């Protein structure tokens, strides 16, 4: 059976599935339940500086979007960092870590951008015997209005500065949690690395307004008629997170920087995908907040079974293996030709492939053949765009098949032309010309 | 297609009746009050209860919004099913109902009585995909019920009449065809005089289908809803040839639509028929049951034999069983595949304890002191493509024999003037008869299957054709 043990910055956990810093990790009772359920680690909900406790709204904190059958695919929240007294959190962290020594216990922190404030909290956190700290530079609502959270994460110089303070004032591994509410995640990651951070974690939540109440004419959910943007997470944000993780993994400056991936991870497959893009651990929140902690059982068994099937004995066996295949558009093989193929035995004749191709793409799928309802690909029109595959309700009914010989009836060109990309394409004014 | 296949793939689970709680009065003869009040209530409750809001959302999400949707093509009235289901899924039940009713003003009754398993739901791609079609009929009912509740509560109607055309149209017969024609004609701006032979409007919806398919007086509620558009003046107890005549209607109105149904029935042609008590037409038995204020007053035999193989036979048989008959047998002269009752209806009969016997033709009624005591059948077989008696006789003891062997057109009033073929009024694709200014639809014509939904389509198409003719 595959070995799921994870060693991230020296922080050991029996599996790579951590609960992200969020409502599920705000208190001892929840975290104990999580560990009993089998989670490998937690990032304790963000602690702030000592003083008057944080105040949350008493109206709704969460909003959601659903897909069919009311499946929750996106969640947003306006909850702030922990609203419990610092000393209680610290005491509980220490208790839980002692009770569960084999689990990862990372503590998320957010204090004002002053070195003394960081020094002070770092000292107290170290006393809990936790395994590491995560700097919350991502929270996009509320705290960012007070110069913390995303307000720090959006300025690379601040990221670097605070990361450096933490490294200088603590023996603990430092993970910088990044906000996606920026234009290029690489600048933030590079700054964290320059500041000496041991790792980055991403993504934090995305600025979002979930919906508008058309009776109240106000954002929904609203608090007494007024709404504020919140942080968006859940399955719908996974592709955004995956891109940002990939960008950091393949950036020359940050390549090799350990990553704890966050963003819509719901199943073992999501986790495996982030790890294939170099993540050392994955952090989960929305899936647990949708289904409860028990989902980790599926994640662990699924990952283990897949690793067994693929012959990967440890996480390191496949970690980062997909990074080399993530590239820029300009390096994609323009001579690679695929055509859609519809398995007529699997086809249920809903006709969605036809109508989307007809209305919005290339008119490359029939609806009638010899007068009968039948959906077939017209190779002379098919550009292999994959839209039909994506809209087909039946798994594997439509597939893209590589054309390796003969002539592409659409272009009149040979299918077997070898690799060539945009950099040398004749239509590219900046193409690299072969030496004459 | 085997029965078991059909029932497992249909979204409609054939409803079965729970056994009587307090015992059945098993006395012989045709008597009323065989069951307790609870048993009557349970046996005649809605056979396919409405979806809850949640169920409707879950079911609506299953629709794939197909291109050129097979379900829509399978609907005789061409309801835009993908659109109306999408409207339900976006919490727009009234908009959904509008989509349905625009194509089929009797979408409420059709949702209840259509054999969806052979129409839209059979064509649903999810039937092909996983053997579980989207519950189109129940979703349609969900939307239309919402609209009818709204219309009833606020005295509104979803459609507005066009500017008055000044034309008057006579619609004869207030069943599904006539009501559909009347509504569409009114909507198009014409004034409609609606005549019906009976005491209530609705035709077979009111008199001819099983009570558990449309409980709570739904047929009359729907009539009220349809008439809610205005411009339709009903006249009851007027039958073509008795009180009204086609020639005077043609003279007094700009156009005439006939939706007169099939007002008479075939007889067994056996001696004793019409004399022996306990032998009667199934359609009359159903009508009496439908009109009864209290089901405990509806008499039923102890051993009932229904002769026939259509929907009426099943409706009569199942209701007889649910009224407390000890045994009910349907005898049909051909095989299961020839029965006009759908596979689902046949299954419904069996689940309710009705025995279906095939390849039997009635040959003799037996009487005892003026009442039927048994009926004999001769076995039949297809020999050289012809249904032939084999000579083997089977006798069933029975104190109630219901005949459901087909209805026939009463055409005395127009026999000379209009082309009638094979017992049906001949119409073209626009539902025009051979007689200028007269259109017809529903069971009295041979346009499609004798279904409510087909009749509604006939009425709609005829109205559109009449409108074109009146504006030409």
Q: Compute CA distances A171 → A31, A52, A130, A432, whole Å.
A: 24, 28, 11, 50
pLDDT-wise least confident of A34-48, A238-252, B340-354: B340-354
Which residue ranges form the domains of chain A, and what is each CATH number?
Answer: 6-325 (3.20.20.70), 330-430 (3.30.70.20)
Asked if the structure places residue B347 within a domain, the reply is yes
- Give, in degrees to the nearest 5, the angle at Cα A213 between A209 and A217: 100
pLDDT of res. B26: 86
Report the CATH number at residue B89.
1.10.1060.10
Asked if the structure places residue B121 within a domain, the reply is yes
pLDDT band for position A269 (cuts 50, 70, 90):
very high
> Using CA atoms, how far apart are residues A275 and A261, in angstroms rounded to an integer?
8
H-type helices in A150-203, by residue range? 150-153, 156-169, 185-194
Both B280 and B394 in one domain: the answer is yes
pLDDT of res. B14: 54
pLDDT band for position A383 (cuts 50, 70, 90):
very high
Decide if pLDDT at A150 tops 90: no
pLDDT band for position A434 (cuts 50, 70, 90):
low
Both B70 and B138 in one domain: the answer is yes
pLDDT band for position A272 (cuts 50, 70, 90):
very high
User: Who among B57, B66, B89 is closest to A350 (CB)?
Assistant: B66
SS3 category, B122: helix
User: Who among A68, A70, A352 is closest to B67 (CB)?
Assistant: A352
Question: How far A291 CA sits from the closest chain B CA (Å)?
Answer: 19
pLDDT of res. B448: 75
pLDDT of res. B2: 37
Asked if the structure places residue B159 within a domain, the reply is no
Of B350, B377, B403, which residue sits at a domain end? Answer: B403
Decide if B97 contacts B158 (C-beta within 8 A). yes
> Using CA atoms, how far apart are residues B210 and A128, in angstroms rounded to an integer?
75
Both B389 and B292 in one domain: the answer is yes
Domains of chain B: total: 3
Side-chain-side CA neighbours of A428 within 13 Å: the count stands at 13
Tell me whether residues B70 and A348 touch, CB distance under 8 A: no
Tell me whether residues A348 and B58 touch, CB distance under 8 A: no
Decide if B438 contacts B256 (C-beta within 8 A). yes
Question: Two tokens at A48?
Answer: 């702030």
Report the CATH number at residue B173.
3.50.50.60
> Using CA atoms, how far apart are residues B461 and B465, in angstroms rounded to an integer?
6
Both B279 and B256 in one domain: the answer is no
pLDDT of res. A140: 82
Asked if the structure places residue B161 within a domain, the reply is no
Question: Two tokens at A291?
Answer: 């289904």
> What are the tens digits of pLDDT across the range B238-287?
999 988 999 999 999 999 999 999 999 999 999 999 899 999 999 999 99
Give me the residue label for tokens 């009109």. B291
A349 near B CB under 8 A: yes
Tell me whether residues A393 and B129 touch, CB distance under 8 A: yes
Asked if the structure places residue B296 within a domain, the reply is yes
Residues in chain B with CB shorter than 8 Å from the CB of A346 are none
Both B139 and B108 in one domain: the answer is yes
Q: How many other C-beta atoms lie within 10 A of the C-beta of residue A432? A: 9
pLDDT of res. B9: 38
Residues in chain A with CB shorter than 8 Å from the CB of B66 are 349-352
**Phi, psi angles (nearest 5°) of residue A132:** -175, 175
pLDDT of res. A138: 84
- Which positions of A are annotated as active-site residues? 139
Pairing state of beta strands B239-240 and B420-421? unpaired
Tell me whether residues B64 and A367 touch, CB distance under 8 A: no
Both B32 and B93 in one domain: the answer is no
pLDDT of res. B267: 94
Both B345 and B358 in one domain: the answer is yes
A393 near B CB under 8 A: yes
**Phi, psi angles (nearest 5°) of residue B436:** -55, 135
Domain containing B418: what range? Answer: 168-263+409-471
pLDDT of res. B83: 98
pLDDT of res. B4: 37
Decide if pLDDT at A57 tops 60: yes
> Using CA atoms, how far apart are residues B81 and B94, in angstroms rounded to an integer?
14
> Using CA atoms, how far apart are residues B216 and B201, in angstroms rounded to an integer?
16
Both B222 and B296 in one domain: the answer is no
What's the mean per-residue pLDDT of chain A?
96
A371 near B CB under 8 A: no
Mind listing the pLDDT tens digit of every residue in chain B (472 residues)?
A: 333 333 333 445 555 555 555 567 888 899 999 999 999 999 999 999 999 999 999 999 999 999 999 999 999 999 999 999 999 999 999 999 999 999 999 999 999 999 999 999 999 999 999 999 999 999 999 999 999 999 999 999 999 999 999 999 999 999 999 999 999 999 999 999 999 999 999 999 999 999 999 999 999 999 999 999 999 999 999 999 988 999 999 999 999 999 999 999 999 999 999 899 999 999 999 999 999 999 999 999 999 999 999 999 999 999 999 999 999 999 999 999 999 998 899 999 999 999 999 999 999 999 989 999 999 999 999 999 999 999 999 999 999 999 999 999 998 888 788 999 999 999 999 999 999 999 999 999 987 788 999 999 999 999 999 999 999 9
pLDDT of res. B20: 57
> What are the tens digits of pLDDT across the range A69-91?
899 999 999 999 999 999 999 99
pLDDT of res. A436: 52
pLDDT of res. B15: 55
Asked if the structure places residue B388 within a domain, the reply is yes
Of residues B354, B343, B312, the one with CA closest to residue B210:
B312
Side-chain-side CA neighbours of B351 within 13 Å: the count stands at 17
Of B353, B388, B403, which residue sits at a domain end? Answer: B403
Q: Look up the ipTM and state it.
A: 0.90
pLDDT of res. B10: 42
> Closest-CA residue in chain A for B55?
A69
**B contact test, residue of A66, A342, A350, A369 with most B CBs within 10 A:** A350
Both B365 and B277 in one domain: the answer is yes
Asked if the structure places residue B162 within a domain, the reply is no
Both B344 and B332 in one domain: the answer is yes
Residues in chain A with CB shorter than 8 Å from the CB of B89 are 68
Residues in chain A with CB shorter than 8 Å from the CB of B128 are 348-349
- Altogether, the residues listed in chain B come to a count of 472
Of B346, B374, B403, which residue sits at a domain end? Answer: B403
* Cis peptide preceding B261, ω within 30 of 0: no
Both B327 and B383 in one domain: the answer is yes
Residues in chain A with CB shorter than 8 Å from the CB of B67 are 350-352, 354-355, 367
Both B78 and B201 in one domain: the answer is no
- Mean pLDDT computed over A42-47: 98
């Amino acid at each position: 059976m595959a070995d799921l043990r994870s060693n991230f910055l020296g922080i050991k956990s029996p599996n790579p599935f951590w609960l992200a810093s969020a409502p599920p990790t705000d208190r001892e009772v929840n975290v104990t339940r999580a560990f009993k359920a089998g989670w490998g680690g937690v990032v304790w909900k963000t602690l702030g500086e000592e003083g008057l406790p944080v105040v949350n709204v008493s109206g709704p904190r969460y909003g959601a979007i659903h897909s069919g059958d009311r499946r929750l695919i996106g969640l947003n929240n306006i909850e702030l960092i922990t609203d419990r007294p610092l000393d209680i959190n610290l005491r509980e962290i220490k208790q839980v870590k002692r009770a569960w020594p084999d689990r990862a216990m990372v503590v998320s922190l957010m204090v004002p951008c002053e070195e003394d404030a960081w020094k002070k909290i770092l000292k107290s956190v170290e006393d809990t015997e936790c395994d590491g700290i995560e700097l919350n530079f991502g929270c996009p609502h509320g705290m960012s209005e007070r110069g913390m959270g995303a307000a720090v994460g959006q300025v690379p110089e601040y990221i670097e500065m605070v990361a450096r303070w933490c490294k200088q004032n603590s023996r603990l591994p430092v993970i910088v949690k990044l906000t996606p509410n920026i234009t290029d995640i690489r600048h933030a990651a590079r700054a964290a690395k320059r500041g000496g951070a041991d790792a980055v974690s991403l993504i934090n939540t995305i600025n979002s307004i979930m919906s508008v109440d058309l009776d109240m004419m106000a954002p929904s959910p609203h608090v007494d008629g007024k709404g504020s943007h919140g942080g968006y997470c859940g399955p719908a944000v996974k592709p955004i997170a995956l891109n940002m993780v990939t960008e950091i993994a393949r950036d020359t400056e940050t390549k090799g920087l350990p990553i704890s991936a966050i963003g819509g991870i719901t199943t073992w497959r999501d986790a495996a995908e982030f790890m294939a893009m170099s993540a050392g651990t994955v952090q989960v929140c929305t899936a647990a907040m949708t289904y409860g902690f028990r989902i980790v059982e599926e994640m662990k068994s699924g990952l283990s079974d897949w690793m067994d099937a693929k012959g990967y004995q440890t996480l390191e066996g496949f970690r980062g293996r997909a990074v080399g295949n993530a590239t820029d558009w300009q390096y994609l093989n323009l001579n690679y030709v695929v055509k859609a193929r519809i398995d007529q035995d699997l086809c249920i004749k809903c006709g969605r492939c036809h109508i989307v191709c007809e209305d919005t793409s290339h008119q490359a799928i029939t609806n009638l053949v010899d007068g009968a309802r039948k959906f077939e690909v017209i190779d002379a029109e098919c550009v292999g765009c994959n839209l039909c595959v994506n809209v087909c309700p039946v798994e594997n009914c439509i597939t893209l098949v590589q054309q390796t010989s003969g002539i592409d009836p659409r272009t009149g060109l040979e299918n077997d032309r070898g690799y060539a990309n945009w950099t040398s394409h004749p239509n590219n004014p900046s193409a690299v010309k072969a030496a004459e | 297609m085997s029965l078991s296949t059909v029932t497992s793939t249909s979204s409609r689970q054939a409803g079965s009746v729970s056994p009587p709680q307090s015992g059945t009065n098993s006395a012989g003869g045709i008597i009323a009050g065989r069951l307790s009040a609870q048993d009557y209530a349970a046996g005649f409750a809605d056979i396919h209860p409405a979806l809850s809001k949640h169920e409707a959302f879950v079911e609506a999400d299953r629709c794939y919004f197909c291109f050129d949707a097979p379900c829509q093509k399978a609907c005789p009235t061409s309801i835009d099913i993908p659109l109306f289901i999408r409207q339900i899924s976006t919490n727009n039940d009234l908009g959904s109902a509008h989509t349905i009713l625009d194509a089929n003003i009797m979408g409420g009754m059709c949702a209840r009585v259509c054999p969806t398993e052979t129409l839209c739901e059979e064509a649903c791609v999810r039937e092909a995909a996983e053997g579980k079609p989207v519950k189109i009929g129940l979703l349609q009912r969900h939307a239309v019920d919402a609209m009818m509740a709204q219309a009833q509560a606020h005295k509104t109607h979803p459609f507005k009449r066009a500017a008055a055309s000044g034309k008057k149209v006579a619609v004869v017969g207030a069943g599904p065809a006539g009501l559909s024609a009347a509504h569409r004609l009114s909507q198009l701006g014409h004034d409609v005089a609606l005549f019906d032979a009976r005491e209530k409007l609705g035709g077979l919806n009111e008199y001819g289908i099983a009570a558990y398919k449309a409980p709570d007086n739904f047929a009359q509620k729907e009539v009220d809803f349809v008439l809610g558009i205005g411009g339709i003046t009903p006249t009851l107890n007027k039958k073509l040839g008795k009180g009204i005549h086609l020639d005077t209607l043609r003279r007094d109105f700009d156009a005439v639509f006939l939706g007169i149904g099939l007002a008479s029935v075939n007889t067994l042609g056996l001696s004793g028929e019409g004399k022996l008590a306990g032998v009667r037409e199934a359609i009359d038995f159903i009508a009496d049951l439908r009109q009864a204020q209290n089901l405990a007053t509806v008499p039923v035999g102890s051993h009932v034999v229904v002769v026939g193989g259509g929907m009426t036979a099943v409706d009569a048989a199942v209701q007889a069983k649910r009224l407390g008959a000890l045994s009910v047998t349907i005898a049909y002269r051909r095989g299961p595949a020839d029965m006009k009752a759908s596979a689902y209806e046949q299954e419904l009969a069996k689940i309710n304890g009705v025995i279906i016997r095939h390849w039997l033709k009635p040959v003799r009624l037996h009487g005892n002191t003026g009442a039927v005591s048994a009926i004999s059948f001769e076995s039949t077989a297809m020999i050289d493509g012809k249904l032939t008696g084999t000579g083997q006789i089977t006798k069933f003891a029975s104190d109630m024999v219901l005949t459901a062997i087909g209805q026939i057109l009463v055409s005395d009033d127009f026999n000379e003037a209009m082309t009638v073929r094979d017992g049906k009024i001949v119409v073209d694709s626009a539902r025009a008869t051979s007689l200028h200014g007269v259109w017809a639809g529903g069971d009295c014509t041979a346009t499609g299957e004798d279904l409510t939904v087909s009749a509604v389509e006939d009425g709609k198409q005829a109205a559109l054709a009449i409108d074109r003719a009146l504006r030409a």
